[in-house]
Every structure is written in C-alpha cells, then in structure tokens.
Amino acid sequence: MSQSLGRALAILDELGEGPRTLDELAAKVGVHKTTVLRLLRTMESGRFVHRDSDHRFHLGSRLFALAGAALEQRGIRDVAAPHLARLNEETGQTIHLGVYEGGNVIYLDKYDSRHSIRMYSRVGLSMPLHATAIAKVLLADLPEPRRRRVAEEIEYTPFTEHTLTGPDRLLDELSRVADQGYALDDAEHETFIRCVAAPVRDATGRVIAAVSISVPEVVLSRDEVLALLPALLDTVHAISAACGHTAP
C-alpha cells in the first residue's frame, strides 16, 4: 500500500469516529498539517470528505453512496437472513421482510410459522399500502409531500371492517408510526391476522426495509402480539447495524 493511500485511509477511518479539525487529523496520522491538508483537498474534490463552516472535516456523501452500493451488491435479504431466521426460531411466528420499490411494497423474504395456519403471502407478492404493517412503516419514512401524494393515489379497498379508508386516516396513522417507530396491522388486511412491523435503516438513517411478525388471532391475542415488539426491535436494530446504521 502506498504511503499516501495509507494516510488517506487513516484519515477516513478517524473521521468515521466523528468530525475532526486539521490539527486533530495531523496528530492522528503523524505528519505535518500541510501533507494532511493536501490529502484532504484531494478527497474533498471527490466528495469523500467535506468541510463545515467551523473548518471541521466530516465523511462525505461519496462514501455514503459507496456504502449503499456495497450493501446493494450484497443485498438486504442476505444481510437480514440470519437475524430473520433467529426471530422466527425465537417466536415461532411468520416473519416477513419487505421493501418499497417502484411505488409498491414487496415481500422480499418470508419465514413460515411453526403452527398449522399458513398466511397467503409469498416472496415477490405486493401488499396493500393502506392495510399492512410493513407498508405503513415504509410509507411513514417518505418525505411529507411524497407521503401525501402516495396516500391520495391509493385505492382504499376495504378488506375488513378495520381497514383504513381514505388518505386522511392513513396519513394520521403514518404520523403515529413515524413517532412510535413501529406499525400494527390490527386485522386490517385479514380478519384473523395481526402483524407488527418495524423499520430497517441504512448508514444515513433512511428506512430501506421493514420486518414484520404475523400471528393468527387464534394463536395470540392483540396484547400478546404487541408483547413480541421488543424481540422485533432487537432484530431490526441488529440488521440496521449490519447495514451501517448507528443508533443515536
């Protein structure tokens, strides 16, 4: 490894711990400030670092893009798989992984429950945007104008008596989901199924997927489904950490 490349990587590694001044970076790398500044300017031109108004250096947007590309090449499904399998084993319930793609929410992975009742869901199948917990989690992360536009374009099919009808009710629900960090499908899509879902975040904090636990009413009550929330949150936090997300 060349000396300059080694120093540049040491700088990036240090910035991964937080913003640093030129003096702090020079002390860390162990060379004169002019040498470090030359490296920083090169990396700044490529958006690998950026400098704020207080002359402190931060990791740049190009690194976030590369991190995202690395994860996409590996695939969120592969990253999530061991964690989903563990949650399925721990709870014995149906586990779904879903993503928002091209205006649709799609099942990306599924782990079946241990009981005899099976859900009609399969990998690749889209799910209603207004009546599923995963969809609520994914829509809740959209910027407000886009969230409203999506809500106004939905066809509000009333699957059950509990299904949300109309954009105003959905938007209110999405605000709650964004605030509380999880969503509940309270027999809104199928009368005999409840689901609780929570978000998976990437290094930028953006929601890139959601995980749900789905349970037939004859197996667990509403309160018992909500009691699974801590295990679900532990799972999505672990997947998010594997995707580079650092909890605040």
pLDDT at 69: 66
Q: How far is CA 81 from CA 48, 95, 138, 214, 220, in A?
A: 31, 11, 19, 17, 25
Residue 43 sits at the vertex; the CA angle it makes with 42 and 49, to the nearest 5 degrees, is: 145
Burial class, 243, CB count within 10 angstroms (exposed 0-12 / middle 13-18 / buried 19+): buried
50 vs 58: CA distance, rounded Å? 5
This prediction's pTM: 0.71
**Closest of 158, 152, 108 to residue 128, by C-alpha:** 158
Tokens of 163: 């299904």
What are the φ/ψ torsions at residue 65 (nearest 5 degrees)? -65, -40
Strand partners, 194: 186, 215
The pLDDT value given to residue 71: 58
**Residue 215 burial class via C-beta count within 10 angstroms: exposed 0-12, middle 13-18, buried 19 and up:** buried
pLDDT given for residue 7 in this prediction? 87
DSSP-assigned states of every residue in 176-207: HHHHHT-EEEESSSSTTEEEEEEEEE-TTS-E
The tens place of each residue's pLDDT in the chain, 248 residues long, gives: 578 888 888 888 888 778 899 998 988 888 888 888 999 899 889 888 989 888 899 988 888 777 666 656 558 888 999 999 999 999 999 999 999 887 888 888 889 888 766 666 667 778 889 999 999 999 999 999 999 999 999 989 999 999 998 999 999 999 999 999 999 999 989 888 999 999 999 888 889 999 999 999 889 899 999 999 999 999 999 999 988 888 76
